[in-house]
Amino acid sequence: MIIGQIKDGIVLDHITAGKCMEIYRALELDKLDCQVAIIKNAESKKHGKKDIIKIDQAIDIDLEVLGYLDERVTVNVIKDGKLFKREHLEAPAEIKNVIKCKNPRCITTTEQELPHIFKLTDREKKVYRCIYCESQGK
């Protein structure tokens, strides 16, 4: 299968196989008025299989959300058909309004205007905890 080259835009590469639709929804790529190509289960020498998302437009990507969902992702910015910039991600130290606290006793349940903020407490296991009640996220 051949997916055409993009002139200006973003390629999200090395997505863990099977995670591209979760990333598509989280980044709200369905709201874009440009071409978006989703490639699932592409061959990968390093990981066996991977997913790829190609966006045929330069947009702002929330790297914190992306790093939270899959820190293996490589963000490639393409300009004039050539690689302009490449970013490797890592799990962010803090995420805001990406996940919601599930603890019914958390203050975010009654004070709904409060942001849902989670801090990374264990980088190796990728554990995030609510800053208000210490409940584990996801």
User: pLDDT in tens for each of the 138 residues of the chain?
Assistant: 567 788 999 999 999 999 999 999 999 999 999 999 999 999 888 889 999 999 999 999 989 899 999 999 999 999 999 999 999 999 999 999 989 999 999 999 889 899 999 999 999 999 999 999 999 986
Both 62 and 108 in one domain: the answer is no
In the chain, the number of structural domains is: 2
Q: Which of 11, 3, 22 is nearest to 54 (CA)?
A: 11
Both 79 and 14 in one domain: the answer is yes
Both 22 and 64 in one domain: the answer is yes
Could you report the per-residue pLDDT of 13-44, keeping only the tens digit for each? 999 999 999 999 999 999 999 999 999 999 88
- Residue 39 tokens read as 């490639």
Helix ranges (DSSP H) in 56-110: 63-69, 107-110
63 alpha-carbon distance from chain centroid: 7
Helix and strand counts by DSSP (H, E) for the chain: 3, 8
Instruction: Flag whether 25 is in a domain.
Output: yes
Both 54 and 114 in one domain: the answer is no
**What is the domain range of residue 35?**
9-88
Question: What's the pLDDT score for residue 138?
Answer: 66
This prediction's pTM: 0.85
Distance CA 32, CA 57 (A): 9
Both 16 and 82 in one domain: the answer is yes
